[in-house]
Structure 1
Amino acid sequence: MKPTIKIDFVSDVACPWCAVGLGNLNQAMKQLSEKVDFEVHFRPFELNPNMPIGGQDAIEHLTEKYGLSEEQVKVNQANIRAKALEAGFEFHPEGRKRVYNTFNAHRLLYWAAKEYGADKQASLKRELLNTYFCLAVDLDDQQNLLNAVGRAVLDCERANRILDGDEFTQEVRDEEATYTNLGIHSVPSIILNDQYLLQGAQPREAFVEAFGQLIKPG
């Protein structure tokens, strides 16, 4: 019987390096799929929990947050787009236009895992990343979130009721607190078998090596 590696992928759908890391992780899991089973859970983290409705211009946000010039931000974005493409995400050529609050996206991801399971949560995670980085549309527009739900082949009417209420709000807050209290303050953070932590958008080879160490006899 194949061993199983549990993966807790702590991330935000507004994090471009989370998309890169996820794409690389998926490639590594595919490479080792004949040797290992994987159990992946997407855990919530908000890069901008206090972002108001309407968001903020992305260039303005990034220059303020990192103290970079607009030109430096654009160079960095081009580098991330290239890395994302290698990982399987074709980011919008003009980049994301605004930075948004992502709490509702995390509520939907919690729902997907609870009522559909890990595979459907993974499908929705990918579609939400596509919504933000590849389509580069407004995350405050509820219809854009529902479109992602539809592409993941989940129940849009159920998702709409969740978004119209406060269902799973406390559950997501509790999960966020759990990982913050573990000392996670940047994403992506990937926890293997509840013991080993990988941080940042690791390349495929790093994941493959880590998985190999976990399944090595003795």
Structure 2
Amino acid sequence: MSTPEISAPTAHIEIWSDIACPWCYIGKRRFAEALASFEERDRIEVTWRSYQLSPDTPVGRRVPEVEALAAMKGMPAAQVRQMFGQVSDTAAQVGISIDFDNVIAANTFDAHRLVHLAGDKGDEVLEALFRAHFVEGEVVDDRDVLVKVAGAAGLDPQWVRAALDGDDPAGEASGDAVAADLLAARKIGVQGVPFFVANRAVAVSGAQPTDVFLAFLRRAVDDVTVKL
């Protein structure tokens, strides 16, 4: 009688990020590059978690990001543009074209709800939300924009609108999921994003170079293997 084959354990990577965070967008691209080249990527499970850098941003305010950050930090707009220019240069290295003069500050709570509503298309929807916010100059706290993003990803636009408007039970559940992510971030001490956690044991913070993410993935897999 043959011995049943034991499948290799899966490492669970949780990534806290905010759609209004350019370094989260850059980090997502770098992490994806590392994961694509990781030999044991079939042993990696990724869950995106919600985070809000500016939860008090009024919905529908439609203020340019440069102006919003200058007011928040008490910095001259010229200094903010210089800082954003450096971010844009880094983003270009991973194929992202950001013009911060077109970026509109937004409350990201509903956008995070959409990622949860997307289920197994969450990664695709998150990428589309980043692109809408940073590249296309869309207002990602506008529900018309969120419904459009959802439809382009193959989700039912009518269902998504009903959920976001509170006319479908999934809507409340998605809000609860975002709140749970935010609470979990506080409990494990997340101070900034992007924040990557493997098996709730190993963490990496920031939009690290690809080789750092590869080492992180290697450790994540080794960690669950040792615990067998």
- Following superposition, the deviation at residue 203 of structure 1 comes to 1.3
1:20 pairs with 2:21 = no
Separation of aligned partners in 1, 2:23 and 2:79: 17
Say if 1:95 and 1:133, in contact at 8 Å, map to a contact too.
Answer: no
Residue 60 of structure 1, aligned match among 63, 67, 79: 67
1:125 corresponds to: 126
1:77 corresponds to: 84
Separation of aligned partners in 1, 2:40 and 2:194: 25
Q: Larger Rg: 1 or 2?
A: 2
* Code of the aligned partner of 1:133: F
- Following superposition, the deviation at residue 90 of structure 1 comes to 2.4
Separation of aligned partners in 2, 1:203 and 1:96: 27
- SS of 2:93's equivalent in the other structure is helix
Q: Could you say what the CA RMSD is over the residues aligned between the two structures, in angstroms?
A: 2.0
- Following superposition, the deviation at residue 212 of structure 1 comes to 2.5
1:104 corresponds to: 110
1:181 corresponds to: 187
- SS of 1:87's equivalent in the other structure is coil
Separation of aligned partners in 2, 1:139 and 1:195: 33
* Code of the aligned partner of 1:35: E
Unpaired runs of 5+ residues, structure 2, are 1-6
2:52 corresponds to: 46
Separation of aligned partners in 2, 1:2 and 1:31: 19
Question: What is the TM-score with the length of structure 2 in the denominator?
Answer: 0.84
Q: How does 1:94-173 map to 2 (within 5 A)?
A: 94-113=100-119, 117=120, 120-165=121-166, 166-167=171-172, 168-173=174-179
Answer with 11-20 or 169-178: which moved more: 169-178
Question: What is the TM-score with the length of structure 1 in the denominator?
Answer: 0.88
Residue-pair matches, total: 211
Say if 1:4 and 1:36, in contact at 8 Å, map to a contact too.
Answer: no
- Following superposition, the deviation at residue 142 of structure 1 comes to 1.6
Answer with 103-112 or 165-174: which moved more: 165-174
Change (3 A) 1:86 1:63: same
Say if 1:16 and 1:80, in contact at 8 Å, map to a contact too.
Answer: yes
* Code of the aligned partner of 1:139: V
Say if 2:60 and 2:142, in contact at 8 Å, map to a contact too.
Answer: no
1:197 pairs with 2:203 = yes
- Following superposition, the deviation at residue 189 of structure 1 comes to 0.6
- SS of 1:99's equivalent in the other structure is coil
Separation of aligned partners in 2, 1:135 and 1:15: 15
- Following superposition, the deviation at residue 77 of structure 1 comes to 1.3
Answer with 21-30 or 35-44: which moved more: 35-44
* Code of the aligned partner of 1:86: Q
